[in-house]
Amino acid sequence: MNAQQENRLEVALEKAIQGDQTGFAEIVEEHQGMVFSIAYHFLRNSSLAEELAQEVFLHLYQNLPSIQTPAHLKYWLRRVTSHRCIDQSRRQKFRQEVALEEVAEPAVASSSPDLMLFERLQKTVASLPEKQRMIVILRYQEELGPAEIAELLKMPVNTVKSTLNRSLAELRKRLARSFGEIKYAIF
């Protein structure tokens, strides 16, 4: 985040804490993509991800005075979103169901080198247990380091590293089993 953006968010945060709706709207606008992205990649359902994002921002609104800086805000949003995703998954024992209308039409030129592998990888990640799935998403989707993930999920760094290693080994095993003799260098 550059200094200008940091200053803009600091001002918006101060306004929001004082009750200014435009300040809060600016905060939501700045961070809604990140919150939705974490929720969507974890839940794999856009309507659930939207609902969860709304809950997170409502919770933020109720707890604005406890937020100290824009960096603290980003950390707080990631942590609350991560925990809410895990809670949602546990509540509903969420299993992926996608309506036909939500499935994207295949494009002529794919941004992914191997669309079949990418879709299989997404499904395989979605089949991991909640904490493993969240660690993988935070590491590779949000590009957070093990120390940042440990801080967000309130667990030791070595636990994050070992869980990540076990998750990657499990993903390799499941993908190798599903693709048979075809070997891909994914991780």
Average pLDDT of the chain is 83
Is residue 94 very low, low, confident or very high in pLDDT (cuts 50, 70, 90)? very low
The yes-or-no verdict on residue 166 having pLDDT over 90 is yes
pLDDT value, residue 183: 52
pLDDT value, residue 3: 83
Name the token pair of 153: 């999920």
pLDDT value, residue 146: 93
Is residue 102 very low, low, confident or very high in pLDDT (cuts 50, 70, 90)? low
The yes-or-no verdict on residue 185 having pLDDT over 60 is no
pLDDT value, residue 92: 73
Is residue 151 very low, low, confident or very high in pLDDT (cuts 50, 70, 90)? very high
Q: How far apart are CA 62 and CA 17, in angstroms?
A: 10
pLDDT tens for each residue of 43-76: 888 999 999 999 999 999 999 999 999 999 999 9
pLDDT value, residue 93: 65
Q: pLDDT over 90 for what percent of the chain?
A: 54
Describe the chain by its helix, strand, coil percentages, rounded to 5.
75, 0, 25
Is 70 in contact with 1 (CB distance < 8 Å)?
A: yes
Q: For 63-71, which contacts have Cβ atoms below 8 Å and span 24 or more sequence positions?
A: 64/13, 64/16, 64/17, 64/24, 65/17, 67/13, 67/17, 69/10, 69/13, 70/1, 70/6, 70/9, 70/10, 70/13
Q: Of 24-28, 100-104, 140-144, which range is least confident?
A: 100-104
pLDDT value, residue 84: 94
Q: How far apart are CA 59 and CA 61, in angstroms?
A: 5
pLDDT value, residue 113: 60
The yes-or-no verdict on residue 180 having pLDDT over 90 is no
